Structure 1
Amino acid sequence: MTSERTRRWKLALGDDDMDGLGERDQRLSRALSALYETEGRKGRGGLGASSPKVSRWLGDIREFFPTPVVQIIQKDAFERLNLKALMLEPEFLETLEADVHLVADLISLRGAMPEKTMETARMVVNKVVDDLMKRLQSKTVERLTGAVNRSQRTHRPRHADIDWPRTIRANLRHYQQDFKTVVPETLIGFARKTRTRADLDHVMLCVDQSGSMASSVVYSSIFAAVMASIPVLSTKLVCFDTAIVDLTEDLSDPVKVLFGVQLGGGTDINAALAYCETKIDRPGKTHLVLVTDLYEGGDSASMLARVAALKQSGVNVIVLLALSDDGRPSYDVRHAGAIAAMDCPVFACTPDQFPDLMATALTKQDIGQWASANGIELVRGV
């Protein structure tokens, strides 16, 4: 009988001698060896280019591991074994575990997809978008609507509109010891005036769609679609590489937005910012969220000067080095430090943190303090 310790070592090392392992453990070992067998050792056949064989392998992986691990192994398979060609087959595509990375792969491959596969790809993308909307929409709408409403105060509120925490704080000096209560001489409430476009806060997401930013593009598109549905905000989405595409008119359909993105290519941040400048008519009410790793392929000096000019004009410039769950991003340290020195927050953000970030920005609170309170490390100015 193989001890548990020996069993684990055999599975971890992919030992050719599988004596003592049960049938299920042998299947598990073969499934991992097909992908992670080191060069120079006798292989067990690998995955090859057969769609049925890969589909069976994915079925085994899905049986042995939870979904998050399946997604990691699946991503490794695409990178190590060049399986992306198989994604052009709808039968194979249906077997994949749908996640943000798969959506990014589908977007990058869409130009090579036959029509029969494109329909399946749209179904997969739609499923991921629906899942992300369920996860992110409620919190985003609640936090941002509340943030905007609370930034509009009135001292003659109706009873239902009284902001009691602020009212109590404003009247503490009127505390009556005999009655153990506060007499609210001044009422503070949430305004309910009709807001014109000039009154709205404007949020512009300017997103780098070069290949390294793939998952950030997916999340940025989802958040832009959510924010566009909030009446108290005016939202724009601009994606760029060396070309610029304004997807603002498509924000009512997140799937259409994603299929309008062109992942890959170079990066011209300066040109993208120049375009955004033409769309800003109320700098003091505009929040420009630049999502990029700051590896500029265009004119770096002009890019930095343009950021400085936007900041000087009153635009709230925020640079997100990544908007994803992928961990610490790679970025241009020199450019990040130069922009941070302009008093613009520069950092990486997860999707779960983004609604609170935008609420902090809309209420004109200190983003640096918010980041520090949430364990987020900001780039220091140089």
Structure 2
Amino acid sequence: MRPTDRWRLVLGRYAEDRLPPAQDPNGSRYEAALDYLYGREYAGRGGRGDDGTDAPDDRGPGSLDASAPSIVDWLGEVRELFPRESVETIERHALDRYGLTELVTDPEVLARIEPSEELLRTLLSLKGQLDPAVLGQVRRIVRAVVEDLRRRLAEEVRQALTGRLDQHRHSPHAAAADFDPRGTVRANLRHWDAESGRLVVERPLFFARNTRRIPWEVVLLVDQSGSMVGSVIHSAVMAGILAGLPAYRLRLVVFDTSVVDLTDLAADPVELLMTVQLGGGTDIAQAVTYAGQVIENPARAVVVLVSDFCEGGPPSRLVAAVRRLVESRVTTIGLAALDGTAHPAYDRRTAEQLADVGMPVAALTPGRLAEWLAEVTAR
């Protein structure tokens, strides 16, 4: 695409009288597709309409003109014209910036959208408003995103939790991650060829892995307030992985102003995410108190609290509940974020109060949480 054509896309409707016509034969289609979405920016800021008059006051940034193409047609045009990375960005802007919730209320539209974590966050946030007709497509998107996350996280988490390399024993099972280069060289020195200066490796060695079967209870408390949607998604995937490890007894609890024990769904992250209801108030103290009631062996228990720590009730109740857990010898950690970026927004004052009574607070990726759990349960 020529530089002038790119500038036409950047300037939108203001390029018409200032730049030469697009040289790309699809130039007008590119411009129309982008203007359908980003033209709302002008109206939302009190800009001028296509006819040069002021945009009507009742036309908000998420409204549709009568002459506009349908959302389905527009989405098909975008997917045909632009590369995948651009399509994902345009779809995200449509949902997050311009409020085109038509994208998540029409089954035909959802069927065309590329599953992504950003889309799933929007779907979960709007789940209470979705028409039942779209739930089949919502479930398809949930499953695709969950499987992608699980595929990327499962091996990393399992290796951290089921055993680290034992550098004193070797294993008959060949795995590149466990290769012992020094041991292999020593074991094959007799095959050194001085003439060619090469070592012929007849018997590569691989480290064995320590395995642990420690009866630790892991209670995962997940705040399902609207601000925690990304952490809810990753918590569901993490719970699914933990539920498949026999050395750990997982209890999964979600909460807002109520506490719901979803341990029975922990092994099925798709069904779990279709069940949670984001939004509402937050009573973290009640959830922490519940964790203390269901733990059987405090000295062999871990409570992982995933929350933004914006407590709806008196913070003193929460601090007291955490103090009781710590004094009973339960290992605790608070996570202000459990997702792929670990960039949290949380109540720092409450987090500091919890840290003072023995609950450290951090923001971790699922992989780092697995490493922390491995260190704790190795004691």
- Which TM-score band applies after superposition, normalised by the shorter structure? 0.7 to 0.9
Please say if 1:41 is aligned against 2:47: yes
Please say if 1:12 is aligned against 2:10: yes
Structure 2 equivalent of residue 203 of structure 1: 218
Cα–Cα, structure 1 residues 299 and 71, in superposed 2: closer, same or farther, change >3 Å? farther
Q: Which of 314, 317, 339 is 1:299 aligned to?
A: 314
Please say if 1:282 is aligned against 2:308: no
Contact 1:201 1:286 in 2 (8 A): yes
Q: C-alpha separation between the residues in 2 aligned to 1:67 and 1:351?
A: 27
Contact 1:208 1:292 in 2 (8 A): yes
| TM superposition shift of 1:15 | 5.1
Q: C-alpha separation between the residues in 1 aligned to 2:355 and 2:82?
A: 42
Cα–Cα, structure 1 residues 146 and 313, in superposed 2: closer, same or farther, change >3 Å? same
SS in 2 for 1:347: strand
SS in 2 for 1:16: helix
Please say if 1:117 is aligned against 2:115: no
Structure 2 equivalent of residue 82 of structure 1: 99
Please say if 1:251 is aligned against 2:260: no
Which residue type is aligned with residue 16 of structure 1? Y
Ranges in structure 1 where 5+ consecutive residues have no aligned partner: 151-156, 169-188, 365-382
Cα–Cα, structure 1 residues 72 and 357, in superposed 2: closer, same or farther, change >3 Å? farther
Q: C-alpha separation between the residues in 1 aligned to 2:90 and 2:15?
A: 24
Structure 2 equivalent of residue 31 of structure 1: 33
| TM superposition shift of 1:238 | 0.6
| TM superposition shift of 1:321 | 0.7
Q: Which of 350, 355, 358 is 2:365 aligned to?
A: 350
SS in 2 for 1:307: helix
Per-residue Cα deviation, 1:359-382 (whole angstroms, up to 9, x for no partner): 333335xxxxxxxxxxxxxxxxxx
Structure 1 equivalent of residue 340 of structure 2: 325
| TM superposition shift of 1:160 | 6.2
Ranges in structure 2 where 5+ consecutive residues have no aligned partner: 51-58, 173-179, 184-207
Q: C-alpha separation between the residues in 1 aligned to 2:364 and 2:101?
A: 28
Cα–Cα, structure 1 residues 236 and 327, in superposed 2: closer, same or farther, change >3 Å? closer
Please say if 1:361 is aligned against 2:376: yes
Question: More displaced, 221-230 or 70-79?
Answer: 70-79
Please say if 1:105 is aligned against 2:119: no
SS in 1 for 2:14: coil
Contact 2:219 2:253 in 1 (8 A): yes
Q: Which of 135, 155, 158 is 1:138 aligned to?
A: 155
Alignment of 1:187-226 (within 5 A): 199-226=214-241
Contact 1:219 1:351 in 2 (8 A): yes
Which residue type is aligned with residue 272 of structure 2? V
Cα–Cα, structure 1 residues 15 and 358, in superposed 2: closer, same or farther, change >3 Å? farther
Please say if 1:314 is aligned against 2:329: yes
| TM superposition shift of 1:85 | 4.5
Contact 1:101 1:214 in 2 (8 A): no
| TM superposition shift of 1:334 | 0.6
| TM superposition shift of 1:317 | 1.2
SS in 2 for 1:330: coil
- How many equivalent residue pairs? 328
**TM-score where L is the length of structure 1:** 0.74
SS in 2 for 1:94: helix
| TM superposition shift of 1:87 | 1.7
Cα–Cα, structure 1 residues 160 and 130, in superposed 2: closer, same or farther, change >3 Å? closer
**TM-score where L is the length of structure 2:** 0.75
Contact 1:49 1:86 in 2 (8 A): no
Contact 1:291 1:323 in 2 (8 A): yes
Per-residue Cα deviation, 1:33-70 (whole angstroms, up to 9, x for no partner): 33333323335698728996323333444456554554
Q: C-alpha separation between the residues in 1 aligned to 2:36 and 2:230?
A: 27
Per-residue Cα deviation, 1:215-238 (whole angstroms, up to 9, x for no partner): 110110111011000011111111
Structure 2 equivalent of residue 379 of structure 1: none
